Chain A
Amino acid sequence: MILRRAFLFGFVVALALLPLLPVSEFWITQANYIGLYSLVVIGLVLLTGVAGLISFGQSAFVGIGAYTTAYLSIKFGVSPWLTLLAGLAITTVAALVLGWVTLRMSGHYLALATIAWCLALYYLLGNLEPLGKFDGLTGVPSLQLFGFSLDNRRIFYYLVWFLVIAAALMASHLLDSRMGRALRAVRSGTVMAEAMGVNTFRLKVIAFVLAALLASVSGWLYAYFQSTVNPSPFGLSMGIEYLFMAVIGGAGYVWGALAGAGVMPVLHDQLQTWMPRLLGVTGNYEIVVFGVVLVLVLRYARDGLWATVETRLPRVRRRPDWANAGLLAERARPAHGEVVLDAQGLRKTFGGLVAVNDVDLQVRAGEILGLIGPNGAGKSTTFNLLTGVLAVTSGEITLLGESIRGMRSREIARRGVARTFQHVKMLADMTVLENVALGAHLRGTAGTIRGLLRLDRAEERRLFREAESQLRRIGIADLMHEQAGNLSMGTQRLMEIARALCADPTLLLLDEPAAGLRHQEKQALAGVLRQLRSEGLSILLVEHDMDLVMDVTDRIVVMEFGTKLTEGTPAEVQANPAVRTAYLGN
């Protein structure tokens, strides 16, 4: 932590000193460009590296910022503050439209839409009479802020880099916040994030708009810096270059954005000098090298340049500052014995295949219901129907008397249903504590802006306190600073239970929680389940470990071929000959 702080401090000092040193104007200009690129690439890190979405059209957002600024300041003499706001407003509208139209579908539609959008805007700018067609607009007045003129490139430099550092810090803050964790969860697919109550569509749109806004700010600066705009720097090839910088620098790291943006102009320069010498002809040949480098990086070093720096820096261990944090509000518990979940005539067909055939089941408060059956009996499908991952074909599901049929999984999660997954779904590169805190997503309220500005610390402490106490309850609190990907399979399952408990559920659905656990761990798990039951929680348990099932459940539903075979106490089920046949055959 100290080393990292020292690095950042040293970097900022070096940045601040650069214009004071007798470096040539060329390098100052170069540094200004790197700053302008960095702003765009930081946005791409949030979008691509964190949320796993790709945009080739960031240059178009830069163009919107630049053209708005140039047009308003040349034609109407509008102040820089207003040109900035106007650029941001137009950018927001454009990004919202693009995001809203594409982000419900798989990620490549956004990528393709941004290509089309970038081309369309390029030709639009190049053909509009008031915007000077392909010649663009010239004579943007110099930037005046608070009565200061930022005419001088060395002074302009400070503004650019102030904004870059501010953007980088805000992006880092966002990643270490409630919304940031949710955003990272979006990357690996939406099922888990939605089960934690995250509105993944909205979050993707937010990430896209944020990235677009950063690009727009870069465009605002660009217009004043160049004092002239024309369509070519906002075309598709520049959009691709921004993405290139993000990938080379390391799309997963905020500071990788600066690395990528810093390498690019230098690489450009060197290649433009060397390629013609090697080939003996002049031309735009550096793109061949860019292409090859891009393919090689993705093949051999997918995490980019910054990953090599990151592995050399010591891992930051989160300082536990939440010991005295307040407690999160808890939901009212239903009275013991009240029906919590009631599914009647639950049916799911895939084409002609009936996966779940008119199954009835009820879970009462303070009860553990086991759901067992041979492989392929439809247990996991039932789970997915109850949690809204799959839509039911027919039947009714009520939770505490309210119908939850047809609700999305995040709406069901909001009503107090938490679950684990048969195949663990977690964020391998986050710590155990952070993974578990994701479970408490719905118990926090801090949004994107509070996250960016770090106004969410009090709430974060409450979330982490909750996460730690759930880890303690499950018995793996000593692992909380470990990266989740390093845990054993069984421990990862325990972590998922802690994450589910973090949601303060009324009903807990566990999908094979004991798989991969050692005997003692299973006994400890049984203890935890009993304790949860005594606290009034209802649990639906899918499990193959019959010792555990017979040990902890109050009642058991047996399924076979999608149909409910029988239901009863563990003793009744064990004595049932039909169950024996289902498991062992005739």
Chain B
Amino acid sequence: MDFSIASILLLDGSSNGAIYALLALAIVLIFAVTRVIFVPQGEFAAYGALTLAMLQAGHVPGTVYLLALLALAVAVLDAAEALRQRRGAGRAAVAFFKPLLWPAPIVLLSLWAAPHHLPLMLQSLLALAIVTPLGPLLYRVAFQKLADASVLVLLIVAVGVHFVMTGLGLAFFGAEGFRNPSFWDTSFTADGVLLSGQAIIIFMVSIALMLGLWLFFERTLRGKALRATAVSRLGARLMGISTVDAGRLSFALAAFIGALAGLLIAPTATMAYDSGFLIGLKGFVAAIFGGLASYPGAALGALFVGLLESFGSFWASAFKEVIVFTAILPVLLWLSLKHGSDEGDE
């Protein structure tokens, strides 16, 4: 291996690592706030990428219908709950229309925009707008009522949601893969190392997002409320923070980050309905590096996973997945020795 190959691998690995870092951050966020180990995080990435691919092709993406259906389902659930609690017809009507407030215009806009072949940037924003509300709606349908269940029950539910999302992905986007056009179709060469515009965009956006998250958690009230919920659900509730709102917000952020990661990766990798799962699991491996709790730990872990993958595929290309997924064993061992038996009562 000479210098140029090493730097290509380094570049490749760290741009993939940046994508995994985004997913890992979302996974840590959801786990900290809701205790859900959100296995389908990668599905948001696939949904984001493929929604854009459908818009590119001038079709209405299936995710739009999913958004409409989920929003209606939540509207019905919320209204039924309001009626069951005998809160009166007016309240029930509010409860019905509130979940439709955001999704309805997005759905209408998408229906109009799909055949109009808007510029790539606008379509990307639209894809983000379609996928992001899916997060809180999924939370409402699958997880909200189970907020007090054990971590393991929530994990199995997350697997159920993964099943549903993958199956629907197949129905929406078909079995074939898509590769989206690059956001910045240029490249720079220095010392024989090729730096593509897309890689630059990946780095810039990831760093911007991490900075944004940091500011959000440090400087805004809602961000602080999320952190408080992560420390203690009961304590947060006593301080007047709604843990339900915190859950919805964390799922919205996770869906947004996931879709963004999908948009970023789609020009460099072919995405199909089931590609998200593996990418998401690599995000998990990265999150475990940070003990599912530390954001910087997860980000560093993601960088390591990306590099391990790119160097692994150079030395033993057939075994790169084996190498990546076996890498968590030493990490778990280290965590286990560091924490010892930290398990209290559930």
Instruction: Show the binding face of A for B, using Cβ within 8 Å.
Output: 48, 52-54, 56, 97-98, 101-102, 104-109, 111-113, 115-117, 119-120, 123-124, 127, 188-191, 201, 240, 243, 247, 279, 281, 283-288, 290-295, 298-299, 302, 425
Q: Which 8 A-B pairs have the closest CB atoms?
A: A291-B163, A189-B345, A294-B160, A288-B167, A291-B164, A120-B325, A127-B318, A123-B321
A97 near B329 with CB under 8 A, answer yes
Is there a chain A Cβ closer than 8 Å to B341's Cβ? yes
A286 / chain B contacts, CB cutoff of 8 Å: 167
Q: Which residue of B lies closest to A124 (CB)?
A: B322
Docked complex Cα distance between A532 and B166 (Å): 63
B152, B161, B284: the one contacting A291 at CB < 8 Å is: B161
The segment out of B46-54, B219-227, B332-340 that lies at the interface is B332-340
Q: A112-B284, A281-B171, A295-B142 are in contact. Are A101 and B153 (CB under 8 A)?
A: no
Q: A111-B152, A283-B170, A295-B142 are in contact. Are A105 and B159 (CB under 8 A)?
A: no
B164, B321, B345: the one contacting A188 at CB < 8 Å is: B345
A284 near B167 with CB under 8 A, answer yes
Kindly provide the distance from the CB of B34 to the nearest chain A CB, expressed in whole angstroms: 13
Q: A104-B340, A120-B326 are in contact. Are A189 and B160 (CB under 8 A)?
A: no
B336 near A102 with CB under 8 A, answer yes
B124-164 Cβ-contact flags toward A at 8 Å (1 or 0):
00000000000000000010011001111101110111111
Main SS class of interface, B: helix
A56 / chain B contacts, CB cutoff of 8 Å: 159
Docked complex Cα distance between A284 and B166 (Å): 10
B168 near A288 with CB under 8 A, answer yes
B335 near A240 with CB under 8 A, answer no
Kindly provide the distance from the CB of A406 to the nearest chain B CB, expressed in whole angstroms: 13
B290-346 contacts to A (CB < 8 Å) = 292, 318-319, 321-322, 325-326, 328-329, 332-333, 335-336, 339-346
B149 / chain A contacts, CB cutoff of 8 Å: 298
Q: Which residue of B lies closest to A291 (CB)?
A: B163
| Chain A to chain B contacts (Cβ below 8 Å), 13 pairs | A52-B152, A104-B336, A104-B343, A113-B328, A115-B39, A123-B318, A191-B344, A240-B163, A247-B156, A285-B167, A288-B171, A295-B164, A299-B145
Q: A189-B343, A191-B345 are in contact. Are A101 and B175 (CB under 8 A)?
A: no
Is there a chain A Cβ closer than 8 Å to B281's Cβ? yes
A284 / chain B contacts, CB cutoff of 8 Å: 167, 170
A295 near B319 with CB under 8 A, answer no
A288 / chain B contacts, CB cutoff of 8 Å: 163-164, 167-168, 171
Docked complex Cα distance between A53 and B151 (Å): 11
Q: Which residue of A lies closest to B170 (CB)?
A: A283
B186-208 contacts to A (CB < 8 Å) = none
B321 near A119 with CB under 8 A, answer yes
B175 / chain A contacts, CB cutoff of 8 Å: 283
Is there a chain A Cβ closer than 8 Å to B254's Cβ? no
B278 / chain A contacts, CB cutoff of 8 Å: 119
A291 near B171 with CB under 8 A, answer no
Docked complex Cα distance between A191 and B332 (Å): 23
Is there a chain A Cβ closer than 8 Å to B68's Cβ? no
A127 near B319 with CB under 8 A, answer yes
Kindly provide the distance from the CB of B326 to the nearest chain A CB, expressed in whole angstroms: 5
B102-127 contacts to A (CB < 8 Å) = none
Q: A120-B325, A188-B346 are in contact. Are A298 and B156 (CB under 8 A)?
A: yes
Q: A188-B345, A279-B171 are in contact. Are A101 and B164 (CB under 8 A)?
A: no
Docked complex Cα distance between A124 and B278 (Å): 15
B167 near A291 with CB under 8 A, answer yes
Main SS class of interface, A: helix
Docked complex Cα distance between A173 and B71 (Å): 49
A302 / chain B contacts, CB cutoff of 8 Å: 153
Q: Which residue of A lies closest to B343 (CB)?
A: A106
Docked complex Cα distance between A117 and B329 (Å): 9
A116, A127, A188: the one contacting B285 at CB < 8 Å is: A116
Q: Which residue of A lies closest to B166 (CB)?
A: A287
B163 near A101 with CB under 8 A, answer no
Q: A104-B340, A115-B281, A123-B321 are in contact. Are A295 and B161 (CB under 8 A)?
A: yes
B343 near A190 with CB under 8 A, answer yes
A294 near B328 with CB under 8 A, answer no
Kindly provide the distance from the CB of A264 to the nearest chain B CB, expressed in whole angstroms: 13
Docked complex Cα distance between A109 and B161 (Å): 20
Q: Which residue of A lies closest to B320 (CB)?
A: A123
Docked complex Cα distance between A53 and B343 (Å): 13
Docked complex Cα distance between A299 and B39 (Å): 18
Docked complex Cα distance between A190 and B341 (Å): 10
Docked complex Cα distance between A189 and B341 (Å): 12
B165 / chain A contacts, CB cutoff of 8 Å: 291
A106 / chain B contacts, CB cutoff of 8 Å: 151, 342-343
Is there a chain A Cβ closer than 8 Å to B37's Cβ? yes
Q: A189-B344, A287-B167, A299-B145 are in contact. Are A108 and B156 (CB under 8 A)?
A: no
Docked complex Cα distance between A432 and B170 (Å): 52
A299 / chain B contacts, CB cutoff of 8 Å: 145-146, 157
B160 near A101 with CB under 8 A, answer no
B332 / chain A contacts, CB cutoff of 8 Å: 101-102, 105, 109, 113
Q: Which of B149, B166, B288, B325 has the most CB of A within 10 A?
A: B325
B170 near A111 with CB under 8 A, answer no
Kindly provide the distance from the CB of A293 to the nearest chain B CB, expressed in whole angstroms: 8
Docked complex Cα distance between A293 and B285 (Å): 28
A98 / chain B contacts, CB cutoff of 8 Å: 329
Known: A108-B151, A284-B167. 8 other contacts (CB 8 A): A106-B342, A111-B152, A112-B288, A243-B159, A283-B171, A291-B162, A291-B163, A294-B159
B329 near A101 with CB under 8 A, answer yes
A240, A281, A290, A295: the one contacting B157 at CB < 8 Å is: A295
